[in-house]
Every structure is written in structure tokens, then in C-alpha cells.
């Protein structure tokens, strides 16, 4: 063998042996191997050290990252276990900050303002464990959109004092098909202990009342627990609210279109009798129990808005400063002051287009007129019972006038 061939042979043998050694090392070898076994032990020590450096604090953000149709009431809560919160930031996608508060024990956080519908929010939270090691969590979610949610506009308002006839009336901005589910989320109770039942007039309106008028001095509580309740397919409630109102003195007024006199009673006793002028024979006033739903010291009344027009389509009347007007129906029945009629008509002849008129002064600035007195001594929710007009009884849903249904009829309209 020449010297060149011998060198090439040794190189090949060396490469072959090297390959065997590499294969032997990759296959693990025996436990007595000196180099690579030591590297495994070193890596385990690194992993253990890294674990010891990780925070034990565990942060949970509700709702989960990427959620849609999130609640505007109960979303964006941040809680931590095995640690305490050190910082929470919440913003809208345009960077607007949302204020919030960390609890006294630093275990939770929530917004201090009402969230908006159809808005995407981002939450970042930092917490520390007992060793001071930090943990971080992030989430983004979108609240329920108006098209996918419903709200109920209710009356009376929180904290008000109303008359004994005032029902709780809720008008929903979406048609409700799951009436039972929604009604179960609405609770009305009274300190008088009276049973309260709810009645659906249609898919958008539900009123609640007791069998008889509310008891004087009672406190009524309305609870709306509608957050997340499916009112219709894909449409969810967003309200979570408690409202209380008080029942004032018991005042019921009786209007007699035949005698053309109005008797105002409190606790069943007559406190004043006032001459009136009701609807004319051609435009009779509705009969029945009506509830004052609005009060206006002065308001405009145009016949065109309630169907009284002349041949040119103009209103048969247009009075821009009707004094001391109180609404009794949605369709336009009022009990109000009248300064344009002669004083002689009150108590003697019915001349109106369907309203009940009381003698009054232009400008609503004379406190001594019957119209001013009745206005000053009336409140939202007072009952006005109109009798002997010769017209039909007002529809129960025309205003807040559900008292014109029997208790049995009323409860028959409940969904639960």
C-alpha cells in the first residue's frame, strides 16, 4: 500500500468509527457515560429554577378572551387567587380608559361605570404572589349590540311618590316572544303585602298592579333581573336594576258628566266639589278609571294630532297655552284648565272635544282658579273616575288604565 492510499484508508476508518460513536451516544449508551448524562441533570436544574421563579398568582378575567354579546353589567370582572392584584387597566379599542376599583383585599377588580353596548374592551391585569413575583393576564371582549339586546323603559321613576292608581308599566324596545322568561326576571313587591300580578298587553308592554289600588304610604319595589335573559331568539336583556317608589295619600276624583260636577275625595272623604265641562254629545268623553300619567303647567293642544280636522286638514282647534293639563290617556284625553270658555258653561253644559275642562285663567298664573287648585293638589298616579258620559269604557292599554279590567282578566294576561 502506498503512503497516500494508507492515509485515505485511515481517514475512512476514523470516519466510520466516529459515526459509530455518535450513533452510540445518541442511543443513550450505558449509565456510566460521563458527558451527556451530566447535561441532562443540568437542564433539570434549570427547569426547576425557572419554575421557582414563576408567580403562583392566578388571574381570571370574565368574560373570556374573544367573547361576544357580553353583559354590560357583569362583564370585566378580574379576580386573583394565590396573590393580590397590583394593577388593572381597561380601555376601549380607541384607547379610552374605563375607570374601575380594586377591592380592599386586592383580590378583585370591577369597573365603576356602566359599560356601553356594542363596544369592544381590552383588559390587562397584573398580580403578585406572596414572594412578590408578578403574573399577567389579558383579555378582549365585545358587549352585546343593540340589535341583539333589549331594554325595558319603566314608570314610575326611582324615588318618586305617586298616587294609589299608579301601575308599574314596562315598555320593551324589542318584541318579546319569551314572555314567561322575561316576566320571571321582573319582580314587583309592596310593603303593604298586597298581591301583585303582571299583565301583557302585547309583545312590548307589560304592566303590574295589585287587585285594588295601592295602599297609602306603602313602598313598592321593582326589581329587573333581565341581564342575559333571552327575550326573543338571539336577543338578550341587559338590565339589572332595583327601583323603589312610594305611594302617597289616597286621592280619587269622580267626574260625573251628567251632573257636570267633579268630586275630589281623599281617603274616601270629599274634600272639594268642582263644576266641570266634559265632552259634548258629538265628542263624548271616555268612561272608566283613568290614571294621571303626565302633568303640564301649560301645553299646546292641536285637534289635528287626535283626529279633529276641518275640510282643509287643519285642526278644529289649536290652543298653544292650555293651562294645568293632566294626561288621562295616550290617545289625548286630558283633564285641564279652560280659560277660553265662559264661566257659565262649567257645571251646566258639556262643550269639549272629549277632555274634562275646569274653569281657569290664561297664563296659568292664578292660583285661585279651580283648574289651578286641582293641578296643585294632584300627582302622577292619582285616579280620575269618569262616569255617565254615554261613551264606551276606555281601553285598559290606552294610558295607564288597566284598572278597567277585572282581577281575573288581569291575571289571565300573565305569562307565568
Q: Which domains does the chain have, with CATH numbers?
A: 58-144 (2.60.40.3780), 148-248 (2.60.40.3710), 251-401 (2.40.440.10)
Give yes or no: 336 in active site: yes
Beta strands 120-128 and 108-111 are: unpaired
pTM over 0.75: yes
Look at residue 44 and tell me whether its pLDDT is greater than 90: no
Hey, CA dihedral for 333, 336, 341, 345, is it positive or negative?
positive
What is the chain's Cα-based Rg? Answer: 38
The confidence score (pLDDT) of residue 405 equals 98
Instruction: Identify the three-state secondary structure at position 17.
Output: helix
Residues 6 or more apart from 136 whose CB is under 8 A from it?
A: 59, 124, 125, 126
pLDDT value, residue 35: 44
More confident residue, 14 or 177: 177
- Report which of residues 309 and 128 the model is more confident about: 128
Q: Which entry of 199, 324, 336, 353 is annotated as an active-site residue?
A: 336
What pLDDT sits at residue 406? 98
Three cell numbers written together for 85: 392584584
pLDDT at residue 230 tops 60:
yes
Q: Are 195 and 218 in contact (CB under 8 A)?
A: no
pLDDT > 70: percent of the chain: 84
**In this predicted structure, which of 17-31, 164-178, 186-200, 232-246 has the lowest mean pLDDT?**
17-31
Tell me the mean pLDDT in the region 283-291: 97
* Average confidence (pLDDT) over 333-345: 96
Determine the Cα–Cα distance for residues 389 and 90; give it in Å rounded to an integer.
Answer: 62
Residue 308 CB contacts under 8 Å (≥ 6 apart), including other chains: 283, 315, 316, 317, 353
pLDDT the model gives residue 68? 87
**Nearest Cα residue to 250 out of 381, 127, 126, 340:** 381
State the pLDDT at residue 368.
97
Model confidence at 32, pLDDT cuts 50, 70, 90, reads: very low
Q: Give the chain's mean pLDDT.
A: 88
Residue 374 to residue 360: CA distance in whole angstroms: 10
pLDDT of residue 402: 98
Q: Which three cell numbers stand for residue 34?
A: 460521563
| Residue 205: per-residue pLDDT | 98
Strand stretches in 14-113, DSSP E = 58-62, 77-81, 84-92, 100-102, 108-111
Asked whether the predicted pLDDT for residue 6 surpasses 90, the reply is: no
Q: What is the pLDDT of residues 59-76, one digit of tens each?
A: 999 999 999 889 998 888
Is 198 an active-site residue?
Answer: no
Catalytic residue among 198, 199, 324, 355: 355
Q: Using one digit for the tens of pLDDT, what is the confidence trace for 79-124?
A: 999 999 999 999 998 999 999 999 999 999 999 999 999 999 999 9
Q: What is the mean pLDDT of residues 14-31?
A: 38
41: pLDDT strictly greater than 60 = no
Amino acid at each position: 500500500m502506498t503512503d497516500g492510499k494508507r492515509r485515505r484508508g485511515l481517514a475512512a476508518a476514523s470516519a466510520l468509527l466516529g459515526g459509530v460513536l455518535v450513533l452510540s451516544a445518541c442511543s443513550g449508551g450505558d449509565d456510566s457515560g460521563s458527558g451527556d448524562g451530566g447535561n441532562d441533570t443540568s437542564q433539570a436544574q434549570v427547569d426547576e429554577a425557572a419554575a421557582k421563579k414563576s408567580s403562583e398568582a392566578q388571574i381570571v378575567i370574565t368574560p373570556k378572551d374573544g367573547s361576544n354579546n357580553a353583559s354590560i353589567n357583569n362583564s370585566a370582572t378580574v379576580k386573583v387567587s394565590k396573590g393580590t392584584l397590583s394593577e388593572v387597566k381597561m380601555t376601549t379599542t380607541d384607547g379610552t380608559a374605563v375607570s374601575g376599583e380594586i377591592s380592599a383585599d386586592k383580590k378583585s377588580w370591577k369597573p365603576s361605570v356602566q359599560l356601553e353596548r356594542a363596544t369592544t374592551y381590552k383588559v390587562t391585569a397584573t398580580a403578585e404572589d406572596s414572594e412578590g413575583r408578578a403574573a399577567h393576564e389579558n383579555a378582549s371582549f365585545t358587549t352585546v349590540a343593540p340589535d341583539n339586546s333589549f331594554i325595558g323603559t319603566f314608570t314610575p321613576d326611582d324615588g318618586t311618590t305617586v298616587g294609589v292608581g299608579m301601575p308599574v308599566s314596562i315598555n320593551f324596545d324589542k318584541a318579546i316572544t319569551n314572555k314567561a322568561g322575561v316576566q320571571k326576571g321582573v319582580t314587583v313587591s309592596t310593603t303593604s303585602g298586597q298581591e301583585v300580578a303582571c299583565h301583557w298587553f302585547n309583545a312590548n308592554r307589560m304592566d303590574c298592579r295589585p287587585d285594588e289600588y295601592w295602599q297609602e304610604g306603602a313602598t313598592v319595589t321593582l326589581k329587573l333581573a333581565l341581564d342575559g335573559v333571552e327575550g326573543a331568539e338571539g336577543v338578550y336583556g341587559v338590565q339589572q336594576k332595583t327601583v323603589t317608589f312610594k305611594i302617597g295619600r289616597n286621592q280619587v276624583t269622580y267626574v260625573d258628566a251628567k251632573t257636570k260636577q267633579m268630586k275630589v275625595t281623599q281617603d274616601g272623604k270629599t274634600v272639594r266639589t268642582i263644576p266641570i265641562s266634559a265632552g259634548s254629545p258629538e265628542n263624548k268623553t271616555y268612561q272608566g278609571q283613568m290614571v294621571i300619567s303626565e302633568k303640564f303647567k301649560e301645553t299646546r293642544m292641536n285637534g289635528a294630532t287626535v283626529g279633529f280636522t276641518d275640510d282643509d286638514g287643519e285642526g278644529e282647534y289649536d290652543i298653544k297655552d292650555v293651562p294645568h293639563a293632566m294626561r288621562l290617556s295616550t290617545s289625548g284625553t286630558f283633564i285641564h284648565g279652560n280659560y277660553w270658555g265662559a264661566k257659565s258653561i262649567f257645571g251646566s253644559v258639556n262643550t269639549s272635544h272629549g277632555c274634562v275642562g275646569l274653569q281657569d285663567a290664561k297664563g296659568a298664573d292664578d292660583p285661585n282658579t279651580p283648574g289651578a287648585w286641582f293641578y296643585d293638589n294632584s300627582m302622577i298616579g292619582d285616579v280620575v273616575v269618569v262616569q255617565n258620559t254615554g261613551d264606551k269604557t276606555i281601553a285598559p292599554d290606552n294610558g295607564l288604565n288597566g284598572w278597567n279590567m277585572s282581577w281575573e282578566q288581569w291575571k289571565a294576561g300573565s305569562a307565568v
